[in-house]
Amino acid sequence: MAEIFTFPIGRSSQTAGASRAASIEDDRRMTVPSNVLRSVESVRAMRQRAGVIYREIPVPLTLSDYGIGVQIDVNNGSTVHSGGWIMVLYSEQPRTEWRSRWRCVAYGSVRISGSEHNGLTPPMMWDWLERTITGINEETLGGTVSLNRNTSFGSLSDPAGDPPRFDCELRVSWTPLEEKEGWVDAGTQVDVWARFLESLTTNDELEEPISDRE
């Protein structure tokens, strides 16, 4: 049975309604590995970014033995909107495909207008992701990027004749670097994904051709 830890209070699903201090003590009394508890507390202690909204989400029990799920929405006043989620997963038995007991799974989406599109392509987005993400085993990073053009018709069309909008979606997973005691700085992993989603709303570098950014 996986334990789902809420964010940012840190209560497990078995201690809903308890105070923050009491929930931490309850977590310690549960049969949760110490490296998982330490990883959870790194999320509790992480700095939250201004203009970013964080919310705990459940982790499917089939994915891992323990998990931390955080939804992230960027609301910094930009006309470009981005959001997504990240799950930090832990398996009591090492997974060959993860090369670890730990794995991060993340989803991100950015919506931009046609006038802001400027030749955005999946390779350009992936290149930007690789430049932004840190604290990982780089050989384990993999995922997909989808770019969809959305044009409204009929009653949903804009009478002002605005250009079509584009949705760029990323589905990514990677293995985070472990500390010596076998825990991971899950708070940093959450922040890395928040930073990436935040960067998509100010995509000055994404507007440049990849060859010009070296």
Residue 109: count other Cβ atoms within 10 Å of its Cβ: 18
Distance CA 36, CA 38 (A): 5
Residue 68, both tokens: 């931390």
Alpha-carbon torsion 110, 203, 166, 171, what sign?
negative
Cβ pair 18, 27 in contact under 8 A: no
DSSP assigned state of 12: B
| Residue bearing tokens 């440049």 | 208
Q: What is the pLDDT of residues 36-92, one digit of tens each?
A: 989 988 998 899 998 899 998 888 878 888 899 999 999 876 666 789 999 999 998
Distance CA 8, CA 41 (A): 9
Task: Kindly give the parts of the chain with pLDDT less than 70.
Answer: 1-30, 77-80, 112-120, 150-165, 203-214
User: β-strands 66-74, 3-5: how paired?
Assistant: parallel
Cβ pair 77, 180 in contact under 8 A: no
- Tell me, what's the pLDDT at 210? 32
The residue type at 74: V
User: CA angle 144-69-205, nearest 5°?
Assistant: 45
Cβ pair 56, 7 in contact under 8 A: yes
Cβ pair 30, 14 in contact under 8 A: yes
Domain ranges for the chain, please list them. Answer: 3-212
- Tell me, what's the pLDDT at 44? 87
DSSP assigned state of 33: -
Cβ pair 68, 47 in contact under 8 A: no
From 156, 79, 76, select the one nearest 114 (Cα to Cα).
79
